Amino acid sequence: MEVGFRPTRPLFYLWPLIQGLPRGTRDCIRYLGDYIDLLTKEFTFEYLGGKARQCSLGRNAFQLSQSNLSPEIQDIAKFLLRYNEFLYTPGKHDFSLPPGRKHRFTAREVVLATYITAVIAKRIKAVSKAACIAVEKDDLYIIGGRWGSKERVKFVHD
């Protein structure tokens, strides 16, 4: 409930996984990250333009952190860089296991990541009209694609 239900993709995919914890922890982290990635694409595009909608979460967060925007936006960008490093990238790309674990993420870590995701999403939406529109319209992005594809998150409207 903290994160919400829109946009339906990726959040539609998240809810059955959350209800099925402790299974599917990696996918939960990935879908939470896809949601933040989507918001960050719109947030970055709104403030910096360019090809933000085609860039990764890490690249967009870095560009925001290097900009001369307000201290609030700089703070969000730093948070996004940490989110990407500690949650999203390991959730998508790191298939190694921490010592003594059977899964990359525990159910507790997923619950904590859900609250962290809700906080950063609210902060982004508080400063970005474009991110709010992306959530409201619910059909601006296609989430998915084949593994290794550069179109895992694709903007489909102008």
Whether the predicted pLDDT of 85 surpasses 80: yes
The tens digit of pLDDT for each residue in 45-54 reads 999 999 998 8
- Paired residues of 58 in beta bridges: none
- Which residues, 6 or more positions from 114, have their beta carbon under 8 angstroms from its beta carbon? 2, 3, 18, 28, 32
The tens digit of pLDDT for each residue in 130-155 reads 999 888 886 665 555 555 555 555 66
Residue, of 73 and 9, whose pLDDT is higher: 73
Give the mean pLDDT of 66-80: 96
* CB contact at 8 A, 132 and 125: yes
pTM of the model as a whole:
0.83
- In Å, how far are 89, 130, 137 from 26, measured between CA atoms? 11, 28, 27
Report the residue count for the chain: 158
